[in-house]
Amino acid sequence: MSILEMKVPSPGESITEVEIASWLVKDGDFVEKDQPIAEVDSDKATLELPAEQSGIITLKAEEGEVVQVGQVVCLIDMDGAKPEGAAAPKTENAEAPQAEEKVVEKPAIVQEAKKEEKPAASSYATGTPSPAAKKILDEKGIAPAQVSGSGKDGRITKEDAETAKVPAMGAAASTGGSRGSNTTKLSVLRRKLAARLVSVKNETAMLTTFNEVDMSEIFRLRKQYKEEFSQKHGIGLGFMSFFTKAVTRALQMYPDVNASIDGDYKINYDFCDISIAVSGPKGLMVPVLRNAETMSFRGVEANIKQLAEKVRDGKITVDEMTGGTFTITNGGTFGSMMSTPIINPPQSAILGMHNIIQRPVAVDGQVVIRPMMYVAMSYDHRIIDGKESVGFLVAVKEAIDNPVEFLMNGDERKALEL
């Protein structure tokens, strides 16, 4: 019998453990080589784990379990025959038509069943939890007496514990409405993010400065060149290319904003790697535009589109999300009017964009209606002084207010490569 031990590969440098977010196959299934069999969460991203060979799979780790890089998480019996009539797995390269799917029979003795059936009926009193169930109930703060067991002789099983509801604090008489609650374990990605956010607040001298920008000229440019730009380059002309170029210009004017702290040392970068916050199925991800200072409007838009698609498809890699020197986040896409964005360590600053509102503003002594946006810059005051932070945000403002002069060298068509 040829058995392959599948071990957890390293998702990236410095990552030592991952969490089995979900198994995409069941114990005893036949899997094809390169078929995705699991999703694993690291502290930076969620990645798919493909089968290394074809065969019958035996799972050696549970969903939600934290495993070390290099640990065996499943076995693949490469001598196991593909069940007759079984459907081909859905992979990007699969071209064979789908046959009617048959259920693969699992071994007669299931591990969980073994756990539940080991004790004799007389060994457990009604309402006694199994060891796994007791651990879950202790974590939820639920007494076994509050749970009805579905196991043999009324024993509380792991499934009973998982579905048990946390009792409401100070529960009063029923109002007739639902008073249920649900407890789920945070993913390793969310737990790591929570720890990082707390550490940023505790370990940096974070301040935020605000300003507002007039989007009138950008609206005009997009309206005038949107179709021509799309037809020639195959991508849309969005707001992010203007803000990215405004930021890279400001970073070159104020180099301390494009820096980080390493112990007693300050590291200044002569390149602008811009992290762009993108919302995905697993939460907010920050893929990086490498050397954004060298990119054209077309280049920025094309790279953002490519990275955003990878995030939404769950195919972004750890390497594509590390190494940024400055972050841009756009809470305006969700309707945010004002916020204080949190620095993405080890970076020292972040720019927050917000929603665009038609507001009355004074221009040359006259009240006019303009599309206005509030912008916020959070920064680490340990290396960025107030003068630099305010100057940086003013530089961003002047570039957004007048992009033709400050971002396009006075030639909008040439800048847009039209």
**Active-site residue numbers?**
381, 385
Nearest to 142 by CA among 172, 123, 162, 116: 162
Nearest to 371 by CA among 227, 183, 239: 239
d(Cα 364, Cα 291) in Å, to the nearest integer? 39
DSSP 3-state of 38 = strand
Nearest to 154 by CA among 120, 134, 124, 114: 124
Tell me the backbone φ, ψ of residue 351, rounded to 5 degrees. -105, 130
Sequence-separated (6 or more) residues with CB below 8 Å from residue 172: none
Report yes or no: 117 and 95 within 8 Å, Cβ to Cβ. no
Count of CB atoms situated within 10 Å of the CB of 46:
23
Report yes or no: 393 and 375 within 8 Å, Cβ to Cβ. yes
At 358, list the tokens. 């038609």
Sequence-separated (6 or more) residues with CB below 8 Å from residue 371: 214, 215, 216, 219, 356, 357, 358
Q: ω before 346 within 30° of 0 (cis)?
A: yes
- Residue 115, CB half-sphere, CA atoms under 13 Å: how many? 12
Report yes or no: 400 and 219 within 8 Å, Cβ to Cβ. no
